[in-house]
Amino acid sequence: MVPNEMWDQYIKRIDEKGKERYQCKTCNKEWAKNVTRLQEHLKTCTLKNLTSNEPSESSIPLATLHRLQKEIYNLEIALTLTVDTRWTSSYECLDHVLRARSAIYAVLAEDSIEINDNVKETILDYGFWTDLKKLHDFLEPFIIFIFQLESDEPYLSSAYKTLQNLKNTVINNFQIPEEL
């Protein structure tokens, strides 16, 4: 690979100690400046090999989100999709988005990333986040109930009582629209 082409595959940044760091645009892995290691990584980058020889348009914002999460939270929060056969996946999806909110905002501030105006508008809409939190909080007792049922020692008596409480929660719900 020609050296100039190699550098196009990385985002250069300066860390808190003033050292140059290079982040793969495809998989988000980061290294100090070491040409041999960077070239070797491009040959073996799993995500790059799965997609194509060029980083996708969507991988750059994702890599940036992961970097910002590390800076803000000191960890990465995976943004997950729902899985029809996993009862808790919708809740986990909402939970991860809410936990990554600050990093998502920070991605909007990145000059190098283009984001659709409708997506930006939604992210910046306070009502969107409020509704997301309401839905998250509404689903939480159901998730707790599911975990109780999946525990090593589920008790029918406590399950019945919890189920009755959930029924009352649904009946007395005035925050979540019925169509949800």
> How confident is the model over 138-167, as pLDDT tens digits?
889 888 888 888 877 777 777 888 888 889
Asked, for residue 77, whether it belongs to a domain, the answer is no
pLDDT (0 to 100) of residue 98? 92
Q: Please identify every stretch of the chain with a pLDDT value under 50, giving residue numbers as ranges.
A: 1-2, 49-55
pLDDT (0 to 100) of residue 170? 84
Asked, for residue 20, whether it belongs to a domain, the answer is yes
Tell me how far the alpha carbon of residue 69 is from its chain's centroid.
9
Instruction: Please choose, from the candidates 135, 140, 134, 136, the residue with its C-alpha nearest in 3D space to the C-alpha of residue 165.
Output: 140
Give the single-character DSSP code of 5.
Answer: H
Give the containing element (helix H, strand E) for 169.
helix 156-171
Asked, for residue 158, whether it belongs to a domain, the answer is no
Asked, for residue 22, whether it belongs to a domain, the answer is yes
pLDDT (0 to 100) of residue 173? 79
To the question of pTM greater than 0.75 for the whole model, the response is: no
pLDDT (0 to 100) of residue 113? 78
Asked, for residue 1, whether it belongs to a domain, the answer is yes
Asked, for residue 122, whether it belongs to a domain, the answer is no
pLDDT (0 to 100) of residue 1? 44
pLDDT (0 to 100) of residue 179? 61
Q: How many domains does the chain fold into?
A: 1
Asked, for residue 68, whether it belongs to a domain, the answer is no
Query: Tens digits of per-residue pLDDT, 57-75?
Result: 556 677 777 788 788 877 7
Asked, for residue 179, whether it belongs to a domain, the answer is no
- Domain extent for 36: 1-53
Helix axes 126-150, 156-171, angle to 10 degrees: 160
